[in-house]
């Protein structure tokens, strides 16, 4: 591949990740310190470095707030990178796991397996979620490809909306048949980090690692794909292989995110577009910055979900939807 064919790194931008990681660290510390009771940062640091189970604030930090902050980082980074990958491969500015049906597919699969087969083993949740996301992605693409004009940005969005409505209706029907199971999953289905489990996160970790490695490893090729299939092929890119790898990475990241925190829409839409405003179109920068920005974004959103109507807590997924919907409408008006 010609070195001149793809965008060069911006020297100033490569010096910036330290600042980005510093902002992420500050958001993480802030997330852990605030809540129904504000815990000063020195006590937070003490709890993390010298945990004492007899001190109430230490228990709150380590047992309640630290896991939630870690889950926010993992889910935010995964969904943001998945959204950036989808937008680059499909050249569709509206592409993201929620809009194209992957989130509802993963959620439906988990509800079906847990509700019908009573299989709630932590090891099974990421796998089931991945299978559901992959099946939904294939169905959405097949529906869009069969439409007049093929799989255009508009037909993909319409197919994703149809898939979301269809599977949502099936989950509502399942709720009527087994209300107890849905009561147990009700908060999770709205996208919540409050009920996350370390056991599920640990089983989801290999999926996250695989997804990130494939995404970052193919970043250069994704940049070429974003220019068009013909351009990428002319540069020596094996287009079909890279698209398949990108799809598997998206499925792995989406599955892990849903397993940990439930379906959270629009994170993969909002964050990559914001990142491109600062780093341009080079996916060697877009993807790592999306991971950093997505993690920080979900930390801040989760704090807002906790404090907006305190002492009542709003599900994080509802807040991401409220923030992301206007961005989606703006993109529709600007691009379609």
332, 273 contact by CB (below 8 A): no
Q: Could you tell me the two tokens for 188?
A: 């999770």
Give residue-wise pLDDT tens across range 129-178.
Answer: 999 999 999 999 999 989 888 888 889 889 999 999 999 998 888 777 76
Q: Is 335 exposed, middle or buried (0-12, 13-18, 19+ CB in 10 A)?
A: exposed
Residues 79, 255: Cα–Cα separation, whole Å: 10
Give the single-character DSSP code of 152: -
Residue 121 or residue 292, greater confidence: 292
144, 156 contact by CB (below 8 A): yes
**Residue 6: what pLDDT?**
53
Q: Could you tell me the two tokens for 50?
A: 């010298």
Residue 3 has pLDDT above 80, yes or no: no
**What are the CA-CA distances from residue 267 to residues 21, 114, 229, 272 (Å)?**
19, 26, 26, 9
What's the mean pLDDT in 295-322?
90
Give residue-wise pLDDT tens across range 314-327.
Answer: 889 999 999 988 88
**Residue 308: what pLDDT?**
83
Q: Where are the alpha helices (DSSP H) in the chain?
A: 11-14, 17-33, 41-49, 56-59, 66-90, 102-116, 124-146, 153-177, 179-189, 198-217, 219-225, 229-234, 239-261, 267-279, 283-307, 316-335
271, 299 contact by CB (below 8 A): no
Specify the pTM. 0.91
290, 267 contact by CB (below 8 A): no
Averaged confidence pLDDT in the chain: 87
Residues 205, 74: Cα–Cα separation, whole Å: 9
Phi, psi of 100 (to 5 degrees): -95, 15
Residues 103, 137: Cα–Cα separation, whole Å: 10
Contacts 24+ apart (CB under 8 A), 15-18: 17/288, 17/289, 17/292
What's the mean pLDDT in 187-192?
85
**What are the CA-CA distances from residue 204 to residues 4, 39, 185, 244, 272 (Å)?**
38, 30, 18, 21, 23
140, 92 contact by CB (below 8 A): no
Give residue-wise pLDDT tens across range 234-276.
Answer: 888 888 899 999 999 999 999 999 999 999 999 999 999 999 9
CATH fold of the domain at 11-335: ABC transporter involved in vitamin B12 uptake, BtuC (1.10.3470)
Residue 331 has pLDDT above 70, yes or no: yes
Q: Could you tell me the two tokens for 172?
A: 């509502």
Structure confidence at residue 15 as a pLDDT band (50, 70, 90): low
* Chain center to CA of 27: 18
Closest CA to 98 of 183, 167, 196: 167
Which residues, including other chains, have CB under 8 Å from residue 192's CB and lie 6 or more apart? Answer: 261, 262, 315, 316, 317
How many degrees, rounded to 5, is the angle at CA 209 between CA 203 and CA 211? 110
């Amino acid at each position: 591949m010609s070195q001149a064919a793809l965008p060069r790194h911006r020297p100033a931008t490569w010096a910036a990740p330290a600042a980005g990681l510093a902002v992420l660290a500050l958001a993480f510390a802030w997330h852990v310190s605030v809540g129904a009771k504000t815990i000063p940062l020195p006590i937070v640091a003490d709890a993390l470095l010298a945990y004492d189970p007899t001190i109430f604030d230490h228990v709150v930090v380590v047992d309640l707030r630290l896991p939630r902050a870690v889950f926010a980082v993992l889910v935010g980074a995964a969904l943001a990178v998945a959204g950036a990958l989808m937008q680059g491969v499909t050249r569709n500015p509206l592409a993201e796991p929620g809009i194209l049906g992957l989130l509802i597919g993963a959620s439906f699969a988990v509800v079906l397996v847990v509700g019908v087969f009573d299989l709630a083993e932590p090891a099974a949740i990421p796998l089931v979620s991945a299978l559901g996301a992959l099946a939904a992605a294939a169905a959405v693409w097949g529906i869009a490809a069969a439409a007049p004009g093929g799989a255009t940005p508009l037909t993909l969005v319409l197919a994703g909306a149809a898939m979301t409505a269809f599977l949502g209706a099936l989950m509502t029907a399942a709720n009527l048949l087994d209300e107890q199971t849905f009561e147990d999953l009700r908060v999770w289905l709205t996208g919540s980090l409050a009920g996350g489990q370390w056991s599920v996160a640990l089983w989801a970790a290999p999926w996250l690692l695989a997804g990130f490695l494939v995404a970052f490893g193919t970043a250069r090729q994704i940049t070429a794909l974003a220019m068009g299939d013909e351009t990428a092929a002319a540069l020596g890119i094996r287009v079909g292989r890279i698209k398949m790898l990108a799809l598997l990475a998206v499925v792995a990241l989406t599955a892990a995110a849903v397993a940990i925190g439930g379906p959270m829409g629009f994170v993969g839409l909002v964050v990559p577009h914001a990142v491109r405003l600062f780093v341009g179109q080079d996916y060697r920068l877009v993807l790592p910055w999306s991971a950093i920005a997505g993690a920080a974004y979900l930390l801040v959103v989760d704090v807002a979900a906790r404090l907006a109507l305190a002492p009542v807590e709003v599900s994080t997924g509802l807040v991401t939807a409220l923030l992301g919907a206007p961005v989606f409408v703006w993109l529709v008006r600007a691009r379609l």
